[in-house]
């Protein structure tokens, strides 16, 4: 595997996980339009940021143990499908679960090629 390919395979899931965490955290901003008091707004904001925290915790684990990241991101995608099934249009499932499944696949590829990726020449 060439150096640029190794770098892409290594960094792509990590950067995409950060971008996805930023994307889903945007949905938490709707609590500021609800007219809650200060403490209710803080509580609602923290509740809305739980999915972002799960993604970031998963990334922290996956950074060291790619196979756990593959399992966790796939499990998060399946969990979202189970919890939200029948509530939204199919595009909502694709926008949220799709990147999670992609991250699971990318971390799986990372784990499979781990020995080659660690050779940073």
pLDDT in tens, 65-116: 999 999 999 999 999 999 988 888 888 889 999 999 999 999 999 998 887 7
What are the structure tokens assigned to 14, written together?
């990590």
Query: Are the C-beta atoms of residues 73 and 103 closer than 8 Å to each other?
Result: yes
Rounded Cα distance, 114 and 116, in Å: 5
10-11-13-16 Cα dihedral, nearest 10 degrees = -170
What are the structure tokens assigned to 60, written together?
């922290």
Give pLDDT, residue 118. Answer: 66
Q: Is the pLDDT of residue 120 over 80?
A: no
Show the beta-strand stretches assigned E in 44-113.
Answer: none
Give the predicted TM-score (pTM) of the model.
0.85
Q: Count the residues in the chain.
A: 121
Q: Is the pLDDT of residue 59 over 60?
A: yes
């Amino acid at each position: 595997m060439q150096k640029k390919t190794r770098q892409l395979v290594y960094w792509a899931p990590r950067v995409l996980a950060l971008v996805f965490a930023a994307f889903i955290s945007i949905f938490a901003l709707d609590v500021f339009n609800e007219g809650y008091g200060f403490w209710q707004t803080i509580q609602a904001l923290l509740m809305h940021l739980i999915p972002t925290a799960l993604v970031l915790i998963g990334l922290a684990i996956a950074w060291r143990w790619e196979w756990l990241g593959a399992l966790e991101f796939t499990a998060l995608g399946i969990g979202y499908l189970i919890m939200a099934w029948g509530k939204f249009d199919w595009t909502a499932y694709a926008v949220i679960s799709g990147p999670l499944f992609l991250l699971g696949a990318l971390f799986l590829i990372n784990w499979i090629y781990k020995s080659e990726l660690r050779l940073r020449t």
